[in-house]
Amino acid sequence: MNDVSPIKYELLHIDRYTNARRGRIYTKHGIIETPVFMPVGTNATVKAITGQSLEDVGSEIILGNAFHLFLRPGLDVLDSFGGLHSFMNWKKPILTDSGGFQVFSLKDRIIDEQGVSFRSPLDGSKLKITPEISMKIQQSIGSDIAMAFDECITAYADHDYVSSSIDRTFRWAKRSFESHSRKDQALFGIVQGALFEDLRQRSLEQITSVPFDGYALGGLAVGEKYQESEKILQSFGTQLPADKPRYIMGIGSPTMMVLSVENGMDMFDCVLPTRMGRHGTALTYNGRINLKASKCAYIEKPIDENCSCYTCRNHSQGYIHHLFKRDEILGKMLLSIHNLHFNISLVKDMRKAIEEDRFLQFKKQFFEVSGYQLKN
């Protein structure tokens, strides 16, 4: 592992009344303004979105999935292209997850001290991912930020299992750190512990004892309630080192984005905006809109008259409704563009609120007007 970090984090301002913070991350592929939302490009593409559309909506960094890229196109292909940036022609920063979340979602996995054994979902062949193999995969991908290999557990796993799991994650984190050798790639550690505060505290102390380039809260957004996630955020968000980026994994709902920023987090990712878009739901500052609903058929207005995205500048709700009724691909593309633009605009608005020390006011107004809920 490098003695000098390949990225630099600059803390610009902390909101006067909350723990929300405004920052900047410098990478070899560009500057990332924080807080930042990262669209998820699982298979070297953000579903239903072109690279130009990602640029147009203001994406500053995207997430690639190490597990899926390892399976297909495979490391030989990625190596021949010189990494993921060249392969997908994306010139801005990329973060890759370690593959842990996807591996642990498989039913036939076998966990031991070395790593996780499983059968390929493509052809049934036997495979194994260890911390060392995860580092090799991510180094071949060439992402700006890689993640240590961890065990992702469900929110409601029992205390004894979670206790042994976080200790294993710590051992895997140290092996990830020791085997990571790419000098132009940052490596983040991941704090686990489910909803147990004592185990979260132990995991935080373990993981932050390793000099990673940044730190993440993992194991949230896996079925728990907003108020349970918020409790973990309030207890541990600001305990992550203040001089390095703080990343909460798998967060992309408007509610959780606001709560995460309020509690000092800088980065988050999720498939939610594009997945909802592909299923006909638009995100707006006035709440969600179901474009499949029959009432949308005659609406000549755009999804949001105050939105500057390509979709709202060019098309009506009635037209998008028609596209979904006819199962046209363009409908999925247009709503995905809009939803990504919404999430990215939301973080931009939060940045401004932090800079002006009015984050609490922003939060209050957002939940009053939008209809998004603080409970679920």
In b/e form, how buried is each residue of 352-372, taking b as 16+ CB within 10 angstroms? ebbeeebbeebbeebeeebeb
Predicted local distance difference test score (pLDDT) of residue 1: 61
Q: What is the mean pLDDT of residues 86-114?
A: 90
| Domains of the chain in sequence order | 8-270 (3.20.20.105)
Convert the pLDDT of each residue in 155-180 to its tens digit: 889 999 999 999 999 999 999 999 99
Token readout for 371 is 């209809």
pLDDT digits (tens, 9 = 90+) for 41-55: 999 999 999 999 999
In this predicted structure, what is the pLDDT of residue 376? Answer: 62
Percent of all residues in the chain with a pLDDT value above 90, rounded to a whole number? 89
With a cut of 70, say whether residue 83 has pLDDT above it: yes
- Across all residues in the chain, what is the average pLDDT? 95
Of 189, 190, 101, 87, the residue nearest 142 (C-alpha): 87
- Helices 359-370 and 254-262: angle between axes, nearest 10 degrees: 160
Catalytic site residues?
A: 97, 269
Question: Could you tell me if 95 and 142 are in contact, meaning their C-beta atoms sit under 8 angstroms apart?
Answer: no
pLDDT tens by residue, 308-317: 999 999 999 9
The total of other beta-carbon atoms located within 10 Å of residue 96's CB is 26
In this predicted structure, the answer to whether residue 2 has a pLDDT above a threshold of 70 is no
Q: What is the pTM of this model?
A: 0.96
Per-residue pLDDT tens digits for 65-82? 999 999 999 999 999 999
Q: Which two tokens stand for residue 101?
A: 């979340």
The model's pLDDT over 195-237, given as tens digits with 9 standing for 90+, comes to 999 999 999 999 999 999 999 999 888 778 888 999 999 999 9
Which token pair is 183?
């000098």
CA 353, CA 21: separation in Å to the nearest integer? 10
Which tokens sit at 78? Answer: 């990625």
Question: Which two structure tokens, joined as six digits, stand for 237?
Answer: 């968000």
Q: Judge contact between 260 and 234, C-beta under 8 A.
A: no
Tens of pLDDT, residue by residue over 262-308, are 999 999 999 999 999 999 999 999 999 999 999 999 999 999 999 99
At 6-21, the pLDDT tens digits run 999 999 999 999 999 9
